[in-house]
Amino acid sequence: MPHDSMIHSNQPSAADSPFDVADEVDEAALAAVMRHVPLGAGVLAGAAVALLVLGYLLSYLLVFIPRGTVG
Amino acid sequence: MSERQPEMHERRILGTELLWAFGVGVLIAATLSMIVFTALTMGINPPSNVERVDPKMLHLSGEFAEHNLGTSVAADGSVTARVIATQFMFVPRCIAVPQGRPVTLRFAAPDVIHGILITGTNVNTMVVPGFVAQVHTQFTRSGDLLMPCHEYCGLGHSEMWATVQVLPEGAFQPDREGRVSCAQR
Amino acid sequence: MSDPRISDPHVLDQPWRIWASIVVIGILLFGVALGVLIIPVVQGRSAGIDMYTAICRALGILPGSPAQPQPATVSPPTPVSKVVWTPEVLQILARGNTERGRAKVLEVCVACHGEQGVSVVPDYPNLNGQSGAAIYKQLHDYRTGSRANPLMTGIANALEEPTIADVAAYYAGQPKRNPNPASLGELPEAIVRLVELGDPNRNIPPCAACHRPGSGGPIETPILSEQGRDYLAQQLRMYASGERRNDVYARMRVIAAKLTPGEIDGLSRYYSAGFR
Amino acid sequence: MRNVERLCLAHFWVAFAAFLVASLLGAWQMWVRSPLGANIGTPSQYFLSVTAHGVAMAYVLTTFFIMGFGYFVAVTALARPLPGKAWAWGAFWLAIAGVVMAVVTILTGQASVLFTFYPPLTASPWFYIGLVLVVIGSWVWCVLMLVAMQAWKRENPGRPVPLAMFATVANAVMWLWTTVGVAVELLFQVIPAAFGLIQTIDVGLARTLFSWTLHAIVYFWLIPAYIAFYTMVPRAAGGRLYSDTLGRLTFILFLVYSLPVGMHHLLMDPEHGNGTKFIQVLLTAFVSVPTLLTIFTITASLEIAGRLRGGRGLFGWIAALPWERPMVLATGLSFVMLGFGGFGGLINMGYGMNAMVHNTSWVTAHFHLIFGGSVVIMYFAIAYEIWPRLTGHEYPSLKALRLQLWLWFIGMMVMTVPWHWLGLQGQWRRVANFNYADPIIAGWGPWVIVSLAGGLVLLASSLLFIGNLFALHRSAAIAVARPLYALAVHPPQRVPAALNGFGLWNVLVLVLMLVAYGWPIAQFAIEPSPAAIVHRVQ
């Protein structure tokens, strides 16, 4: 393999449609997992974001407000 | 795979994303409501006193001349502390304030940008030359607090701090001119 | 473009343009309404501030917070120094003419401060290579009485403003002598630390933070390198006692009062030896 | 093509050389301000070091990395030659000249004003001019990115621009908007003052102009990480991108909302009314939207990969992911840091609540965690991913790569968690040495020492990172060509023009900027604030 074609030759463009460039993903398997996705992701990301907002509210109520109002 | 299936999939995916985005919207609304609620009911704002003052003339006359600095109690009982932030010290270096009473802190800088915070409180403001920085607050606990300069103001920045002495009601005694200084310890 | 699935993107685009604009601008207007109308007006009502003032305060047109009354100001006092660093003053300084300055120096200053700015008596300050702003500030303070000295008050009063600038420019241009660390003898580490690091424990900033040329400190800060030892020690003691008080905002009075006699002596030796 | 590889590598090596030096300085700074380093290093040395650390990390590492990465994306994602290669090299050398000017002024102590300037303190004019040259170099890059995309669009009418390139151009467009503020501040206020042409500066105006740049610049640094999330991570994990449309929307939202929010850096400033501040706080809340959308979309993409690899149940897919691959591992660690950093950021933007933490170590912790943590770890992952493609060599082993990423994560957490805590206690920023004899400050000492330990772990990780790249260059193994960019579950066949270009969004940015910054800047023209005399640090 010539060195100077490294970037190009084996590089599918993301613009290419799946009809042109395949990845290792099997369409049938993908269709099967898409029945569950994104339940796990929704729960995980939802829980993480909820914790974030909970932390924010607790900081507001337990640290910020007791330290005295400013304006 | 039929022609229409991907379209439907894509629509389902976008529907899910929209649902998530809706959840995000609710969270943003909740946090903003908190901010607006405290602003409306407790008057909480960031210090935003847009009051111009010439940094070059501060020392000549007016409230930020050397003799007028420090804490004073007006005839109506309101407490105002006036402080200069300059390279590399605060004037005065110790500020006496009463516990549990509204206090107005006013700062000005004759030279470069400074900033202050008072440890353990929400008192925090930039001191920008050209403007009077002002914080309205109440100190809830008595004791000595640290008031450092928290913005880079030059090579002596690290040694620039003052003490805030929060005095209980009985110990906060103005003299005949209404001035209060720190107790010597 | 023969593929029928690829429709005209601009047709697809129309709802995007409309909805994106509505959402983005709607959020913006909501923010404006809350920030400069509802919040200040409600806050102003509970603080007894009228609607117009509250909105103007929220916009920064009037000073103060819409949630708090503004404090009253206090009476004018006597300033410790009347020097004001305006662009005009800095212009005058920058226009100082060294030739005219030299003539005036030979006429008046030379007897004490020397032609090259090296003083003839240890009590008088060296002026060679001193910052022009520092010389200007002190002469001006003598004129206005902010700094008092039986000799200098009279001399300064006889000088015009542009002449002060000429003299300052002349002495500022006189060369420093070569620093001669050998003359220092034993250099105590504590003094070097005070110059470089200050003393955090006593709230003393490093001397170098202002007095080293190019440190970005106050404009009028004098350069101390090669200043006479006796003069420096004397001035520090005068600041400490409050006898000299033309330092704006007591910057030097406060620091000098914290220094021990040993430190005053050590610092004077440090700078007189030519260290920066 | 050899040229493009050399172009990319040249940019990356400058970026990472600056990074290594800055890491060393950072560790030294932590040591001297800890109780262990009392009386070591003078303030002059410390602030010189802080200036160098900030300039190297925030201007050199980022700008050069982003430029190099952009050239790489333009060539690989568009699968067409880079237009204006000579211009790209010219921009590179211009930016190098700028860096040299800045470095010389910093090292000679003529620029100890930190990387955020603080007029009326002014450094040597050559310091600012050096930085301006770096920015001009990056402007050339922006134009080249736009030209590359337009050329591809002409050759491929009606087809969606590949997401990686769309995002890169979004960043370029944003950067052009972003740099206007600081460019005006430097060219009309700071540089004339540094040359002595003017003696005074309107400080309020200078701060306002800088704030225009100050927030969006962080998104400029951050977007490469998001490009990796959307276009590389799903493929590295063995799956597909959940939604290409959401990717486009995310980068558009970054463009629209990262600009009219800079005033949240001025919440504690006296030169603006709280009404104008509130408007930008509200808009700031919306700049969290693209990040929150990304968290979900990328987690869903990883879930696809995990399930394709046999993961079952609500969370079984997490264990099934190929964590041994640096890109996947880096993403996981990046998200954890993004979570903690995001929490800090929520509090920073909290209008009144900003007063609790402004200019304390909390803020230092926040941006080290978000930028130094979740973004820079993705810079590492990107470098690891594309270095074999640029050199043709393969890593002798991935073990050292994973170790380096873990060390970075651990070091960053150990360093920044104590900083958050100290910030809440009131430990303030930009201090050369603390007075540990003070009873309040004495209590901070142990926490400072813990954070120092984190800093040393970070330094070790930095050294290992450079070592890993050297090992690759020396490695005899030949890289196996493999695809880089992920496909979406449903690769788009057509997208509306709004999701394929930036015309509409530029108009909306203009509207937002006019409202958000129009009055705050106009007020200085209507009633100029009394100016401050320039203080020269040179």
Neighbouring chains of C at 3+ CB pairs under 8 Å are A, B, D
Secondary structure, 3-state, D219-285: HHHHHHHHHHHHHCHHHHCCCCECCHHHHHHHHHHHHHHCCCCHHHHHCCCCCCCHHHHHHHHHHHH
Q: Indicate which CATH number applies to the domain containing B77.
A: 2.60.40.420
Residue C69: which pLDDT band, with cuts at 50, 70 and 90? confident
pLDDT digits (tens, 9 = 90+) for A3-52: 334 454 344 444 443 334 556 788 889 989 998 889 999 999 999 999 99
What is residue A14's predicted lDDT score, i.e. its pLDDT?
41
What is residue D277's predicted lDDT score, i.e. its pLDDT?
95
Of D292, D529, D535, the CB nearest to B131: D529
Same domain flag for B155 and B114 = yes
pLDDT digits (tens, 9 = 90+) for C145-200: 899 988 899 999 988 888 899 999 999 999 887 656 565 566 788 999 999 999 98
Are the C-beta atoms of residues B108 and B118 closer than 8 Å to each other?
Answer: no
In this prediction, residues D222-232 reach a mean pLDDT of 97
pLDDT value at D179 more than 50? yes
Torsion of CA C160, C162, C163, C167, to 10 degrees: 140
Contact yes or no for B28 and D207 at CB 8 A: no
State yes or no: is D490 an active-site residue: no
Residue C74: which pLDDT band, with cuts at 50, 70 and 90? low
In-domain check, residue B185 = no
Instruction: Return the half-sphere exposure (C-beta side, CA atoms, 13 A cut-off) of residue D251.
Output: 33
Contact yes or no for D440 and B35 at CB 8 A: no
Q: Dig out the tokens for B65 from the structure.
A: 């001349």
Dihedral sign for Cα atoms in the order A51, A54, A55, A56: positive
DSSP result, D385-401: HHHHHHHSB--S-SHHH
The DSSP bridge pattern shows strands B89-91 and B79-86 to be antiparallel
Same domain flag for B122 and B166 = yes
Contact yes or no for B39 and C215 at CB 8 A: no
- Decide which of D483 and D366 is more confident: D366
The DSSP bridge pattern shows strands B94-98 and B161-167 to be parallel
pLDDT value at D73 more than 90? yes
In-domain check, residue B106 = yes
Q: Give the helix ranges, DSSP H, for B43-169.
A: none
A with D: how many residue pairs have Cβ under 8 Å apart?
Answer: 162
Contact yes or no for C30 and D282 at CB 8 A: yes
Residues of C in contact with A71 (CB under 8 A): 43, 65, 67-68
Of C60, C198, C216, the CB nearest to D121: C216
Name residues 169-208 of chain C within 8 A of D (Cβ): 193, 196-198, 200-201, 203, 206, 208
Residues belonging to chain A with any Cβ–Cβ distance to chain B shorter than 8 Å: 27, 34, 38, 42, 45-46, 49, 53, 56-57, 60, 64-71
Element (H, E) at D162: none
In-domain check, residue B50 = no
**Distance between CA atoms of residues A8 and D76, nearest Å:** 6
pLDDT digits (tens, 9 = 90+) for D414-464: 999 999 999 999 999 999 989 999 999 999 999 999 999 999 999 999 999
**Distance between CA atoms of residues B184 and B179, nearest Å:** 15
DSSP result, C103-161: HHIIIIIHHHH-TTS--SSTTSPP-TT--HHHHHHHHHHHHHTSS--HHHHHHHHTS-H
Residues of A in contact with B123 (CB under 8 A): 68, 70
Same domain flag for B33 and B72 = no
Secondary structure, 3-state, D332-362: HHHHHHHHHHHHHHHHHCCHHHHHHHCCEHH
Q: Cα distance from A20 to chain D (closest Cα, Å)?
A: 12
Same domain flag for B37 and B90 = no
Q: Which amino acid is at D104?
A: V
How do the domains of chain A map onto residue ranges?
43-71
pLDDT value at D1 more than 50? no
What is residue A16's predicted lDDT score, i.e. its pLDDT?
42
**Distance between CA atoms of residues D412 and D372, nearest Å:** 8
Q: Which domain holds residue B69?
A: 55-180
Same domain flag for B71 and B119 = yes
Same domain flag for B30 and B114 = no
Q: Which amino acid is at B81?
A: A
Beta-bridge mates of residue B73: B79
Same domain flag for B37 and B62 = no
Nearest to D275 by CA among C32, C28, C24: C32
pLDDT digits (tens, 9 = 90+) for D341-357: 999 999 998 888 999 99
Q: Cα distance from A23 to chain B (closest Cα, Å)?
A: 17
Domain spanning D2-325+485-536, CATH class? mainly alpha
Q: Cα distance from C152 to chain B (closest Cα, Å)?
A: 23
Torsion of CA D272, D275, D276, D279, to 10 degrees: 150
**Distance between CA atoms of residues B19 and B79, nearest Å:** 52
Same domain flag for B98 and B131 = yes
What is the total count of domains within chain B?
2
Of C64, C199, C251, the CB nearest to B89: C251
The DSSP 8-state label assigned to residue B150 in this structure reads: -
